[in-house]
Amino acid sequence: MIRVTVIAVLAAIVTTLVAVLIRWLPESASEQMDRITFTYWFATVISIAIFSIVIGLIVYSVWAFRVQPEDDTDGPPIHGNTKLEIAWTIVPALLVISIGLVSAVVISKNANAGSDPLEVKVFAQQFAWKFEYPGEVRSDELVMPLRRPVEFHMESADVIHSLWIPQMGQKQDVVPGVTTKIVITPTRTGTFTLICTELCGLGHATMRAPVRVLEQPEFASWLAKQRAAGAGAAGGAASGGTGGGTQAGGAASALGKQTFASAGCGGCHAFEPAGTDAQIGPGLDNLVADAKKAGEPEDAYIEQSIVEPNAVVVAGYQPGVMPQTFGETLSPEELDALVAFLSGK
């Protein structure tokens, strides 16, 4: 019995060191991740205890009851031990039930957004994320206030995506035709990365978005600034007719460049003015020549290539790779600005 205990304690020390010394999980940045981490540790401690007892018994038995040389006799007949069997059925059952209970409590707490969450709409499409805050503030970057629950309402324009910020634990699929929800309450400021964690097409690996957690006052002023900028942009567009042509052109090309980035075009295309060098689709620096080859005016050709990618498939490339949904997900202004940006106007 003492020997079994010694071996079990040694096994427990080794496995505890492996569990503690290696950083298996990222440093938590949300209340939900704290609870998830607790669940992991709860199950890990139970696992280490069971593992150590089993290893102690196995190693001791293999060593103490090993067969002697030249011993060809059968072992003594054993009928089993009813008390022991009841114990090793009930104890593991209770442990598994306790893990299930802890998990259920954590899942329900993690889904609770409290009475005053910040609601953020999330739009996922191949291969980009967009966020919308109350007051129609749109952003390509996810900005969150410290210690306030953020409830995401998520929609997909095309296929199944999945939202995940590793340090914040929570993970939820974004499914076309369904609005899924998830709650995250950040517990430390800093910058993080939102990752699409459901294989969604060729550009999947590029489908990421920057995340910033700010102190609540800083967040409030960020949101106010975005609101003012949004209102300003709308006003600028309205007065564009009477304003100088150069200024309108500048705003349009800025929108074109911004749309190229936010729609994820750069994940597949090399285009010098945007500074991208991806190779999944053809380079876009010689579109004039391609339009001539197709025998179409340049702007019409570019617009068609974006809205209806399969109409003309560039030689050497497969149809159906470029997302077919830009006609629906881009606004007419964004589309015009994108065509102007690509044609170099």
Q: Is 56 in the site for ligand HEC (CB under 6 A)?
A: no
Q: Which of 145, 168, 305, 337 binds ligand HEC (CB under 6 A)?
A: 305
Question: Which tokens is 275 given?
Answer: 């500074």
128: tokens are 């980009």
Q: Which of 19, 313, 340, 343 is the binder for ligand HEC (CB under 6 A)?
A: 313
Q: 52 with 12: CB under 8 angstroms? A: yes
**Which 3 state secondary structure label does DSSP give 128?**
strand
The mark string for 126-145 relative to ligand HEC (x by CB under 6 A, - otherwise) is: -x------------------
Cβ nearer to ligand HEC, comparing 11 with 338? 338
Structure tokens at 318: 């497969």
Shortest distance, CB of residue 132 to Cu ion, whole angstroms? 18
Q: Which of 264, 274, 276, 337 binds ligand HEC (CB under 6 A)?
A: 264
Dig out the tokens for 74 from the structure.
């059968």
State how far the Cα of 149 lies from the Cα of 115, in Å rounded to an integer.
Answer: 9
Residue 196 in contact with Cu ion, rule: CB under 5 A: yes
Nearest to residue 48, comparing CAs of 25, 90, 18?
A: 18
Nearer to ligand HEC, 216 or 310 (CB): 310
Q: Interface mask (CB under 6 A) for ligand HEC, residues 10-49, using x and -?
A: ----------------------------------------
> Is 84 exposed, middle or buried (CB count within 10 Å of its CB: 0-12, 13-18, 19+)?
exposed
Three-point CA angle 105, 111, 112, nearest 5°: 90
Q: How far apart are CB 247 and ligand HEC at their closest, in Å? A: 24
CA atoms within a 13 Å half-sphere pointing along the CA-CB vector of 90: 6
Torsion over CA of 35, 36, 40 and 43, rounded to 10 degrees?
70
Residue whose C-alpha is closest to residue 251's, from 262, 240, 261: 240
CB of 163 to ligand HEC, least distance (A): 19
94-122 core/surface letters (b: 16 or more CB in 10 A; e: else): eeeeeeeeeeeebeeebeebeeebbebbb
Amino acid identity, position 122 = V
Site string for Cu ion, 133-172 (x = CB under 5 A): ----------------------------x-----------
Of ligand HEC, Cu ion, none, which one does residue 207 interact with (CB within 5 to 8 Å by kind)? Answer: Cu ion
The binder of ligand HEC chosen from 149, 169, 186, 282 (CB under 6 A): 282
Residue type at position 52: S
**Residue 264 interface partner, choices Cu ion, ligand HEC, none, CB cut-off 5-8 Å depending on type:** ligand HEC
Nearer to ligand HEC, 95 or 314 (CB): 314
Neighbours of 7 (CB within 10 A): 19
Stretch binding Cu ion (CB under 5 A), from 181-189, 192-200, 296-304, 316-324: 192-200
**Closest of 269, 272, 262, 256 to residue 321, by C-alpha:** 269
Which of Cu ion, ligand HEC, none does 317 bind, CB closer than 5 to 8 A by kind?
A: ligand HEC
Judged by beta carbon, residue 35 or residue 269, the one nearer ligand HEC is 269
Among 154, 184, 207, 213, binds Cu ion (CB under 5 A): 207
| Residues of this chain, 186-225, that bind ligand HEC according to CB under 6 A | 201-203
The reply to whether 265 sits near ligand HEC by the rule CB under 6 A is yes
Among the listed residues 136, 195, 200, 137, the one whose alpha carbon sits nearest the alpha carbon of residue 170: 195
Interacting residues toward ligand HEC by CB under 6 A: 127, 201-203, 263-265, 267-269, 280-282, 284, 287, 290, 302, 305-306, 309-310, 313-314, 317, 319, 321-323, 326, 338, 342
Interacting residues toward Cu ion by CB under 5 A: 161, 196, 200, 207
